[in-house]
Amino acid sequence: MSRINTNVPSLIARANLDRSNGDLDVRLRRLSTGLRINRGADDPAGLIVSQRLGSEINGIEQAVKNSERASSVIATAEGSLNEVAGLLNSIKGLVVEAANTGAISDNERAANQLQIDSAIESITRISNSASFGGLKLLNGSLDYVLSGLDNTAIAKAQINGVSFNNQPSIQVQVDTVASAQLGALYLRGDYAGALGNGVFQSTVNIEIAGSKGVQTFQILSGRPFAEVVAAVNSFKQATGVSAALVNGNANSGLVFYSAAFGSSDFVSVTRLGGPTGGGFFQTYALSGNAAVPGTFNLPAQITAGTLVQANRDAGRDVVAVVNGTLGTGRGLAINLPNTQTLALDLLLSRTFATTNGSSTTFRVTGGGALYQLGGSVNVSQQINVGLPSTAASRLGGTLINGALEFLSSIRSGGSNDLNSRRFESATTIVDASIDEISLIRGRLGALERNTLDTNVRSLQAAVENLTASQSNIRDADFASESSALTRAQVLSNAGTSTLSLANQRAQQVLQLLR
C-alpha cells in the first residue's frame, strides 16, 4: 500500500538514527574526557562506588602528607635534642674534672662552673626556641596536663602517650602490689657470750660488697655494733652499702643495706678466713617475698623462717598496677609501655613504693601532640604523644636524700654546684638527664621508624590499589571506545542515508497521478 500521510519507514529510520547518534555522542564524550562515567545515567552504581573511592583516596593522600609532616616535626625536635645531649655530655666531663680536687685549683673549678652555667642556659634556650612552623616543640607546650597529682606518693610523672577516646580527661590509678625493698643482711646482737650483747664476740675479717665496689674490714673482738655502723657508713660512697642498728638498738642486731632500691642493687657480706655459716658471725636475709616487718625480733623471725641464712641479698623492684595493667618496675620507678590507651613513666616516693597496697589517682586532662595518620578522622587512626619540656628546671629529676633535684641545681648557687663538692649527686643528676634525653630521642625515633614510615608505605600502597580500582570502574577503555566510535559513525551515516531514502519513498506516489 502506498500512503503519504504517515511515513512509517521514515519514523523507524529516524528512531534508529537517534539511537546511533546518541551512541555516537556517548563515545565522543568518553573519548574526549577519558572517563567511562561522566554522569549518573552512564552507570549509577559505578558512579556511587567511584565517588566513594575518590573520597577515600583523597583522605589517604592527605594522611600520607600528614605522616610526612609529622616525620619532619620529629626530625626537627631530634636535631634540637641532639644538641642538648652534646651539652649534657660536656657538663658531665666538667663535673668529673672538678671532682679531681687534688689536681685542680679553685680558679679552674670556678671556670668549669662558668662553662656549666653557660651550657645549662643553652639547654633552656634550645628548649624555648625549638619550633616547627611556629609550633613550640620542647618547651612543654606539647606535654600532657595533669591534675590531682599527689607529690607525696608520686615524685615525678611523665606521660608519654594517651588516647582520650573523645573523653575530656582520663583517670590514672596506681596501686602497689609488691613493695620496693633494699637489699638487706641482718646480724644478731643477742648472743649470750662473755662480752655481752651488741658487740662482736670475736675478731673477724669481713668483705662488704655492693653495686659501687668492695671494701674489707677487720673488726676486733669486743667492738660495739655502733662503731661498726660508723665504719661501714664511712665507705658508703665507695661500696654502695650502709649499715644501721636494728630497731635502733645494738642488742637487737646490725643490718647492712644496699644503697638503692631495686633488683640491680645488692649487698654482700662475707667472712674472710673463717667459717661461712654458724658460729657468731652469721648474716640473714628475708626469705622469698616476705615484707619488711615494722619491728624486728631476729631470734623469733629466724625460728619462724622469715629470716634465712644468706651472705648476699638483692633489692626488689616495686610492682604496681596502673589502670589494671601491670607496670614494669625498676627500683622506685614504674614504666607502663605503650598500651592501647596509656604510656607513662612514674617515679614513686619512697614511702609510697615501700608500702604494700598503696593507692593513688590523678587525671590527665589534656595536652600532647595529636597526629592524624589515617584517611578518616577517628581515634583508631590517630596517635597522641607527649613532648616534655627539656628546660634545665625539668631535666634529670632524681631523688637525692628524699628530695627531687633537677639539672638546674648544678648551676652556680644551686644545691649541687661545684662549690658544694657534691660531685656524686651532680653526676647522678647529669646521668639522669642524659638518660632522659636519650629516652625521648629513642621514643621519637621508634615512632618515626615503626609508626610513621610504615604508615606512609602502607597508605601509599592503599592509594595505588584504590586508584587502580577507581580507574577500572570510571576510566574509559580507549581501544574499546575507539571501536565503538567507528561502529557508531557507520551506523549514524547509514541511518542518515536510510532516512533520506525513506523520505524519498513518498514522492514515488506522484508517478501514479501521471
Check: CB of residue 437 under 8 Å from CB of residue 390.
yes
Q: What is the pLDDT of residue 278?
A: 45
Q: What is the pLDDT of residue 62?
A: 92
Least confident range of 51-60, 70-79, 108-117: 51-60
Classify 149 as helix, strand or coil.
Answer: coil
Residue 510 has pLDDT above 70, yes or no: no
For the segment 176-192, the average pLDDT, to the nearest whole number, is: 86
Classify 513 as helix, strand or coil.
Answer: helix
- pLDDT bin (cut points 50, 70, 90) of residue 70 is very high
Residue 214 has pLDDT above 90, yes or no: yes
Residue 250 is assigned to a structural domain of this protein? yes
For the segment 84-97, the average pLDDT, to the nearest whole number, is: 94
For the segment 418-437, the average pLDDT, to the nearest whole number, is: 91
Q: How far separated are the first and last CA of the chain, in Å rounded?
A: 18
Residue 117 has pLDDT above 50, yes or no: yes
- pLDDT bin (cut points 50, 70, 90) of residue 320 is very high
Residue with the larger pLDDT of the pair 513 and 159: 159
d(CA 80, CA 124) in angstroms, rounded, equals 11
d(CA 306, CA 290) in angstroms, rounded, equals 7
**Distances from the Cα of 23 to the Cαs of 13, 19, 20, 497, in angstroms?**
15, 6, 5, 17
- What are the beta bridge partners of residue 158? 345
d(CA 119, CA 113) in angstroms, rounded, equals 10
Check: CB of residue 269 under 8 Å from CB of residue 254.
no
- Buried residues in 263-283 as b, exposed as e (16+ CB within 10 A): eebbbbbbbeeeeeeeebbbb
Residue 127 has pLDDT above 80, yes or no: yes
Alpha-carbon Rg for the chain, nearest whole angstrom, is: 41
Per-residue pLDDT tens digits for 9-47: 777 777 777 777 777 777 777 777 777 777 777 778 877
Check: CB of residue 361 under 8 Å from CB of residue 326.
no
Residue 299 is assigned to a structural domain of this protein? yes
Residue 360 is assigned to a structural domain of this protein? no
d(CA 139, CA 367) in angstroms, rounded, equals 13
Residue 27 is assigned to a structural domain of this protein? no
List helix spans (H) across 99-212. Answer: 106-129
Residue 243 is assigned to a structural domain of this protein? yes
Q: What's the number of domains the chain is made of?
A: 1
Per-residue pLDDT tens digits for 364-392: 998 888 888 888 888 888 888 888 999 99
Per-residue pLDDT tens digits for 333-360: 999 886 668 889 999 998 999 888 899 9
Backbone angles phi, psi at 323, to 5 degrees: 50, 40
- pLDDT bin (cut points 50, 70, 90) of residue 164 is confident
pTM for the model stands at: 0.78
d(CA 288, CA 286) in angstroms, rounded, equals 7
Residue 359 is assigned to a structural domain of this protein? no
Q: What is the pLDDT of residue 38?
A: 75
Cell of 295: 619491728
198: domain range?
A: 182-314
Residue 256 has pLDDT above 80, yes or no: yes
Residue 420 is assigned to a structural domain of this protein? no
Q: Which of 358, 360, 357, 385 is nearest to 371 (CA)?
A: 385
Check: CB of residue 448 under 8 Å from CB of residue 72.
no
Residue 277 has pLDDT above 50, yes or no: no
Most confident of 199-203, 275-279, 378-382, 434-438: 434-438
Residue 448 is assigned to a structural domain of this protein? no
What is the pLDDT of the chain when averaged over all its residues?
85
d(CA 220, CA 231) in angstroms, rounded, equals 12
For the segment 203-229, the average pLDDT, to the nearest whole number, is: 90
Q: What is the pLDDT of residue 24?
A: 74
For the segment 247-260, the average pLDDT, to the nearest whole number, is: 88
**Distances from the Cα of 202 to the Cαs of 193, 194, 196, 224, 393, in angstroms?**
10, 11, 12, 11, 53
